[in-house]
Each structure stands twice: as structure tokens, then as C-alpha cells.
Structure 1
């Protein structure tokens, strides 16, 4: 019913069913994983009014049990989701439906899917650091680059009264940089690929 994917690894479709409505994937070498994708295989939909809460569990080396954190959910209308697990904190967990399951090993984390009603899913609050940014990384880079250029150029700004004559220097009014900055932002918002033309 479910699959789990980590970049650079084979797709896992071998979830262990630990209860009639609970499924678990083992995630070895989890310290080197940034994101995990959980998806429905398309072979069987959720029953009407149901969905899957997706959890991540760190192995607790002291107790041997797992510390579970809610990442988000998948449903028939949203059959896949990407979660960032690299920013999660070990030892910080919350209420979860997986009981006192023992971790497979100290180097193996677990991804769990709990089939629950859509009403229950709507009331749950996932860990905020697990949400993957919806902003395209290229757009995010471009925005940071624009900010950096404008801030850097502005740090050299002087008024006309403060200017010292430098015959070899060319001075550009900061209003020109600001105008370029605003135009570039506007064009990026209209068409992120405008620069390819």
C-alpha cells in the first residue's frame, strides 16, 4: 500500500505491518538522510474518510525504544509527500500511535504510517522543521543573491557631500541598483525562466 524513498537508495515497498492500521519502514544509516518521501503505491486506496499520518522515529540508545515525531500525512487526494528529517531533534517526541516499539538497532530509524480518520489528521500538528520549503531552490537562491548584491552595494553608499574625487573610479547612483533590483524581482515573479531568453 505504501512506499518510502530516500535519494540515492532503492525504493522501499516492504513496510512491516505492525498492527492492522500501522505500517513501518526501517531506515538504516539515517544520519546521512536529509529528506524522505512517503507515497501510496496506487494498488489500494485508503477507505473513504481515511488517510495516513506519517511519523519518524529516532532510536533512543538509552531506553532502546523509539522516539516518534509526526511529519505530516498522505491521503487519496495527496498520495505522496516529501519530509525533511535532517533538522529533527533526537529525543524530542510527542503523542503517537506506535506504542513502545523497540528500535531495530541504534543506527536504524523508522518511518511509520498510521491509518487514521481524516478528521483526526486535520487536528494533528506536524513538527514544523519537517516541512519542505515550497519555494523553488533556484528562486530562493536568486532572491538571496539580489539581497546580497543590493546590501553590498548599499554599504558603499555616500552622499554627494561626502564624495572625494577619484579620477579612476566610476560612481553609480544607488537608485540605479535599486531600480534594477526591483525590475529583476518583478520579472522573476512573472516568469522565473525569463533569464534563459
Structure 2
């Protein structure tokens, strides 16, 4: 976004019950070769969200940014870094 234009993005986090996750997992068994164990999926989701929130919060309230706003470039940078970590070691989050 070097042209100076502003973009708006919305991040949505879905909170689902364990039963809903298990139902979705059952529906996807035939559709995907990789099936997470429920506990692994929950652990991954927690650690991913925790990592995201910590990263984004470290930029809130910095120069020219209100405390309740985070530049979309920050979210993009987190996503790129997270993807690189997954490519280098798909189980890095299990530490």
C-alpha cells in the first residue's frame, strides 16, 4: 500500500463449542488427508490466537496510531511471519 491509500480489514474469531468442532471434523474426514486430533487443533488455535494478539498489541498506541487501532500492514506482517514459521516447521507451535 505504498500509494498512500487506506484499507480497512476486519478480523473475525469464531468461538465454537467442542461439539461443533467435532461435528465439523467428522464432516471433513473424507475431504482432507490431514485430520488434527481435537486436542491438537484446540492447542494450535489457542497458540495462534495468543501469538496474533501479542504481536498486534505490541503495535497499538504507537506513533500516529490510536490505542484501539492497528495498521493493516501489521496484520499482514504477522500473517507472513506465521506462514514462514509453518513452512519451516509445521509443528513449531507445539513447543
Using the size of structure 1 for normalisation, the TM-score is 0.20
Using the size of structure 2 for normalisation, the TM-score is 0.33
Hey, which of these two has a bigger chunk of strand by percent?
Answer: 1
Hey, which of these two has a bigger chunk of helix by percent?
Answer: 2
Task: Specify the structure having the higher radius of gyration (Cα).
Answer: 1
